[in-house]
Structure 1
């Protein structure tokens, strides 16, 4: 069937891309960091909605308002982070680290609810429903920076001419990580009966990719990518030359056979 052929071709192409990618250390480290970071993003988003519905007893229109605020602040972040980068002379990986540190505010603020003094106040640590709206702004603002700078930073590490294949791998890494964090949060909820306990896990999960992002050397990654592109081009030329030689030999054999007759 045709669709089976398409699916098979897609998986073969992805596998070829993976075999090339594993030879690029900087790209591999960044993909691992992005895997963890995208998992953290998906887990925080899902946990926030669940927390709003179960712990804060927010109605559906209020939860929708949280999503609207996050979306609008995401647009603001997409425009603001490049300005911040130029203003302070920050590189792409430094902006990503800034976003991670700002993102860490969300679970840390939720953990304040475990402090007895804060609990007695009755406000702070996400004890009141209105507290989730500023955090929604932070979430969206961070996403506006991460979505653009992570993609552009990864583009530096891609061998020229292989952008489509590598961005497909980037997308697979993004979508493939969206189940691990939520599954662990679900396990924590089943064990403790309190979703606030999951903030400990979220705080660690958000910080995990930070050392990897810091480790990635964009200049070294760009050099490796260019060398890999040259190597791939040379291998392709060698294959084409061998194929042309075989075709020429076959033509000569046909001519010789014809002359013998």
Structure 2
């Protein structure tokens, strides 16, 4: 009889995990504001204007070949944002794996996530002072904040494994991405209202941008409080023993992981696939506004509306692909997504000039596959990571994403220079999705999950 009460008690673990997943989703909502408002939309054009003024351009809003001095290097004002983001990217490749090793050994992953986030938001808030001769402060701030944002994501992604089973991973990741697109889209919409109506609010154009840049950091820091308070701490699991001080242990673990990666050939194959198709995704997003303006002849209002449309459609796309994964598995859904991206590229190639309806239709397609492929890539990769190595393997994931994200833009630029048209340049991007699909087709997902020591979900 003593066993009867215990047997009657329901298993509350799934409810607890669901609460943790909902708390975890808030960090996607929080950090997406920085990536959307700052890195994707507001920072680059404003930095070009400010640096152009510092360089002495007669009209800093027009193309100007005058340079600014950055650590003894004379860089064109118009190219400065690209150089800064590239430098942040390269630095992240070196820093993130080390951070991942610390995260794997810590029972306080949420403290790493929040600590890096608040530090990044504090540094990012300095972008409010980006004006006149203070462009250097803005340059330093965007680089450091970008690196800290990447560090926080390493811990954030690692937490996903602690709060979800293999069968729950796709749903949790999809909801997180959906919340991220929604949060980033809401703040971006508010900031675009402020920017476009700055005269109505009694603000200068520059002040509206500076307030928008500041709002992203405030949003990032404020909403990070929710997951920091509500998430539990989890003890590290199956971490390989290392001797020496913490620096030696961290770098030692990185070396061990890099040497050990070939022992997980399916994990390596997926990373190669991800490098290619993610580069294609990032370049399509980067090139969309240029293609729309220069090739198809659309004005600023159409392009701004398209950016917001993609952001909000991606919210639904992430949830839709989450349902697809529940039925067909994450692997098949990602593979299907790469073929859908090929269709998007071909559709973009065939778009007639100044046809807003068709342009927006392609934008809807982009939003659907954008949210879905990114969300499921994260969850599927988590199944291919050996237990206890989540932080460092996700650091490799982020490093692979950031360290190669210039291939697509380089190809886009070369094709335009060779042909003088953006149509062949946009078509050339299909090669990244073809290569991504090639490596995905060489991947045996069940073998990869078993080799990593994880349990096979009901549907792969």
Range of TM-score over shorter length? 0.7 to 0.9
Name the structure 1 match of 2:118: none
Q: State which of 31, 48, 60 in structure 1 corresponds to 2:300.
A: 60
Q: State which of 316, 324, 339 in structure 2 corresponds to 1:84.
A: 324
Q: State which of 173, 184, 189 in structure 1 corresponds to 2:400.
A: 173
Q: State which of 271, 280, 285 in structure 2 corresponds to 1:45.
A: 285
- 1:94 equivalent to 2:94? Answer no
Report the alpha carbon displacement of residue 110 of structure 1 after superposing the two structures with TM: 3.0
CA deviation profile, 1:21-70 (whole Å, cap 9, x unmatched): 22210000000000001110111112211111211232222211111111
Q: Secondary structure at the match of 1:104?
A: helix
CA deviation profile, 1:151-199 (whole Å, cap 9, x unmatched): 1111111001111110111011111121011011101111111011113
**Take 1:84 and 1:9, find their aligned partners in 2: how far apart are those partners?**
32
Greater relative contact order (Cα 8 A, min sep 6): structure 1 or 2?
Answer: 1
Name the structure 2 match of 1:209: 436
Name the structure 1 match of 2:383: 156
C-alpha contact 2:271 2:397 (8 A) present in aligned 1? yes
**Take 1:10 and 1:203, find their aligned partners in 2: how far apart are those partners?**
34
Q: TM-score, normalised by structure 1?
A: 0.74
Q: Secondary structure at the match of 1:53?
A: helix
**Which runs of structure 2 are paired with 1:102-251 in the superposition (5 Å)?**
102-112=340-350, 125-130=351-356, 131-226=358-453
**Take 2:423 and 2:347, find their aligned partners in 1: how far apart are those partners?**
11
C-alpha contact 1:93 1:214 (8 A) present in aligned 2? no
C-alpha contact 1:109 1:126 (8 A) present in aligned 2? no
Report the alpha carbon displacement of residue 8 of structure 1 after superposing the two structures with TM: 11
C-alpha contact 2:321 2:373 (8 A) present in aligned 1? no
Rg comparison, structure with higher value: 1
**Take 1:7 and 1:107, find their aligned partners in 2: how far apart are those partners?**
34
107 and 166 in structure 1: CA distance in 2 versus 1, 3 angstrom threshold: same
58 and 128 in structure 1: CA distance in 2 versus 1, 3 angstrom threshold: closer
**Take 1:83 and 1:107, find their aligned partners in 2: how far apart are those partners?**
25
Q: Secondary structure at the match of 1:22?
A: helix
Q: State which of 254, 263, 268 in structure 2 corresponds to 1:28.
A: 268
Moved more, 57-66 or 190-199: 57-66
- 1:71 equivalent to 2:297? Answer no
**Take 2:393 and 2:293, find their aligned partners in 1: how far apart are those partners?**
38
C-alpha contact 1:156 1:218 (8 A) present in aligned 2? no
9 and 25 in structure 1: CA distance in 2 versus 1, 3 angstrom threshold: closer
33 and 7 in structure 1: CA distance in 2 versus 1, 3 angstrom threshold: closer
Report the alpha carbon displacement of residue 129 of structure 1 after superposing the two structures with TM: 4.0
Identify unmatched segments of 5+ residues in structure 1: 1-5, 113-124, 228-261
Q: Secondary structure at the match of 1:204?
A: helix
**Take 1:137 and 1:163, find their aligned partners in 2: how far apart are those partners?**
33
Q: How many residues align?
A: 208
